[in-house]
Structure 1
Amino acid sequence: MIPLPYFHWTYVWIPQFGAFIWFGTLLSMLVTWLAQGRTRYESMEGPIAYISDIGANFLKPLFVTGCSITAVCFFLSLVIERWLRRSGRLIKTMRRREKVYAVLAIVSSFIAGVGLILLSVFDTARHSSLHRLFLLIFMVGVILSAIFTVVEYRWISKDYSGYRALQTAYRAKGIIAGLLIILAIAFGVTMYKRVANVAAILEWVIAFGFTLYLLTFAYDLRMSKGVPRHHFHQESATQGYTTPSPEMSNVHVARY
């Protein structure tokens, strides 16, 4: 049986793996395009290739696989986070509104994941309209999921005396998500105005930035380290929480 302090790694690897695959997929595609001498693909609107332009050609199997794995890891990260709160290994939600936000965040992440998978399958070279539709669905899904998650964390943090860990979590998410939303708006404007070069650069920046957002969930899930099941169910009676010290973690291991 795995010792309790290491149980969190069972969950933490999921957002880390998703971030690794996503970053690796993007980097492989970008390096390949540059190594080919910046090949001019048929679907390109300018000299700088969109991610989808590269993904619509011989690297499409890599693109579809990377998007699919990333979508699943993104969705599972939110589901596991919710499960850990429900089982008392993370600070539990006390009121209905936090639970509603958590469910909405999960549903939005599922919609975003479906959009991500489908935009890779329906590539821009053969299904331009569908590709842009699914790209929009993916971006809106991620934005909504980020907003619901940050709001949920914001409300939870008010209920406990030791809330600094959660503050760090939702502030990091808020900053990263806020920057990505601003960049996404700029991306949409530049696409509409057909400023292809700027839009392509913004797309790459947003895509790589999504890696950082995925990694914030590793931090969230890591907070379950050394915390036994139902720990926060007991704490809810006093509405307080103190991050377990190494000594307390050893006590929990001994008891559980």
Structure 2
Amino acid sequence: MARRYFSWYWFPIVGSAVWVGTLLGLLLTWIIDGQPHYVTMDSQGQTIAYISDVGADFLKPLFIAGSVVTSICFVLSLFGGRWLRHRGRILPNTSWAQRIFSIIAIFGAVVGSAGLILLSIFDTKRYTTLHRVFLAVFCGGVLVSALGTVLEYWRLERNHRWSKAITYSFWIKAVFFVVELGLAIAFGVCLTKEINNAGAIIEWVTALVFTGYLLSFLFDLLPAARSRTGEFKDVELTPPSSSYRPYRY
């Protein structure tokens, strides 16, 4: 009866919506205000604000609130996948390697989420060094989480080749990891070389791409909305029979 009022797939939806809303709130405020030059911006030619530049000003409460809600939803989306596979409400893991990769992904999400919350609290205006440290923690945690997820779904896809949903989810997450890794490297180079306008653009794009990664868990968790505990326990290496249709996989 509880599933009627609660489903795990709500977390990626809420997290994605809140994160996009936070980014749009920051970006549109900066644009509508006439693209002001904040005190945290480089005085030598920087005309495009970083997310942290806008988030360190009067919209800091919005930045913190959005980061906290997004972080909680991010962690719970991954934890939900691990829990539902264990309970047999979505396609189960078939090896210890898959479970270990899943745990690594959750650990990365926890570390990255902690970094996101802390970088929003320790803003670049008052705590420049701490802000950059937590920014690195956030990026590193998300990349570790994405890598663990990709490896888990790679193994899952090998054992559930009949499941198009698993195949699609694997490729979506693999593409995200490659794109996000490339953006993170480019962002790091821009920060090191103080190419601030390009760095700011890359930061906004990277943040939006993260939304796609979070939202991808919606399709993984959605089958649990119509399944019962243990319903997928015996569905491992072979597809279900034609009469077994708890949800379209």
The TM-score bracket by the shorter chain reads over 0.9
In 1: Cα distance, 2:241 partner to 2:217 partner: 18
Cα shift readout 1:82-122 (whole Å, capped 9, x = no counterpart):
00000001111121111111111101100000000000000
Q: Distance in 1 between matches of 2:12 and 2:198?
A: 30
CA contact (8 A) 1:226 1:244 kept: no
2:236 matches 1:241 = no
> Are the counterparts in 2 of residues 102 and 149 from structure 1 also a CA contact under 8 Å?
yes
Partner Cα separation in structure 2 for residue 154 and residue 135 of structure 1: 28
Report 1:69-148 matches (<5 A): 69-148=69-148
Q: Percent identity at matched positions? A: 39
AA aligned opposite 2:119: L
TM normalised by structure 2 equals 0.93
Number of equivalences: 244
Unaligned runs of 5+ in 1: 251-256
Name the SS of the counterpart of 2:140 in structure 1.
Answer: helix
Q: How does 1:20-99 map to 2 (within 5 A)?
A: 20-45=17-42, 46-99=46-99
Q: Match of 2:9, SS?
A: helix
The CA deviation at 1:220 is 0.9
Seen in structure 2, the aligned counterparts of structure 1 residues 53 and 161 have a Cα distance that, compared at 3 Å, is closer
More moved, 170-179 vs 126-135: 170-179
C-alpha RMSD of the superposition: 1.9
Q: Partner of 2:47: helix, strand, or coil?
A: coil
Change (3 A) 1:50 1:88: same
**Which residue is 1:254 aligned to?**
none
Q: CA 1:157–1:31 in 2, change beyond 3 Å: closer, same or farther?
A: same
Contact (CA 8 Å) 2:180, 2:206: kept in 1 or not? yes
* CA distance in structure 1 between the aligned counterparts of 2:77 and 2:106, rounded to whole angstroms: 9
Amino acid at match of 1:122: F
Read off the aligned partner of 1:111 and give its amino acid letter: V
Instruction: Confirm or deny: 8 A CA contact 1:162 1:242 kept in the other structure.
Output: no
- Tell me the CA shift for residue 229 of structure 1: 1.3
Which residues of structure 2 form unaligned runs of 5+?
none
